[in-house]
Amino acid sequence: MSDGRGLKFGTVAQQYDEYRPPPPPEATVILGELSAKEVLEVAAGTGLWTRWLLAAGAKVTAVEPDNEMRTVLTRRSPEVRALKGTAEALPCNDASFDVVLVSSAWHWFTQPAATIEMARVLRDEGLLFVLWNGCSRDVAWLNDLLALRDDAHDRHRQPRGWRAEFGDDHLFIAVKQVHLDWTWPRTIEQMVALFGTYSGAIIRDDAGKGTMEREIRRQLVDRVSDGVVEVPMTLRGTLGRRVPRDRNDSPVRGAERAG
């Protein structure tokens, strides 16, 4: 059972907006042309992806359950239609979007309810991007650092994925897995602030946070060059296509859908 930490990011909303990684400019390679498309961003947080989508020319609707996170989003992007809601009960009309995007939030959703809702609001042949944008996991020193995010004995910690499964409801074809490596220059103190936005850190007491911060500094000190740590990052996830509604009863199986 969850301890509700997925709804505690609002306690660090401004810090989240300032220190979480933005989408890399090269993300256009993955998302393609979005100009004038109706895009729904689910669990939009403070709007890191919202701002990127707007710059790409998309018409963005953002859904975010946390009031404090949504407040930052609307302050930064007042032109966006920002709605309170969850992935499992989207406050949107049927077949009203060309694209649905989720970034670094899929692991918080209840399935299959969330997948069914996204299929409901997508137009036929619409695209679902389920993405994670974070530190690369094939770098040994980064894996040691990332282990500090959570208490090893924390039974409520959430696994963080790199791909989505759309179930066997014949609603989506999993078109492909997407992957983009990029580099994010950070100072040590920026990395400390970043780690303070992770769910495992938010729930810690002051002593626990202090211990984590000291260890982050210790591990990073040898990685600094001219005051900067070059952090290897990866944008990765799954691209799905909404099956046309008149085909929903076709006997599509998982192996056939993974084209």
Number of domains in the chain: 1
Supply the range of the domain harboring residue 43: 5-137+159-185+233-257
Residue 49 near residue 101 (C-beta atoms within 8 A):
yes
Mean pLDDT in residue range 42-56: 97
> Mean pLDDT, to the nearest integer, of 49-55?
98
pLDDT in the model for residue 2: 46
Residue 145 falls within a domain, yes or no? no
| pTM score | 0.86
11-48 burial, b if ≥16 CB within 10 A, otherwise e?
ebbebbbebbbebbeebeebbeebeebbbbbbbbbbbb
Do the domain assignments include residue 97?
yes
pLDDT in tens, 164-179: 888 767 899 988 999 9
Distance CA 25, CA 11 (A): 28
> Are the beta carbons of 92 and 40 closer than 8 angstroms?
yes
What percentage of residues in the chain have a pLDDT greater than 70? 87
Among 122-131, 168-177, 242-251, which is the least confidently predicted range? Answer: 242-251
Q: Is residue 152 part of a domain?
A: no
Q: What is the CATH number of the domain that holds 170?
A: 3.40.50.150
Among the listed residues 99, 94, 114, the one whose alpha carbon sits nearest the alpha carbon of residue 27: 99
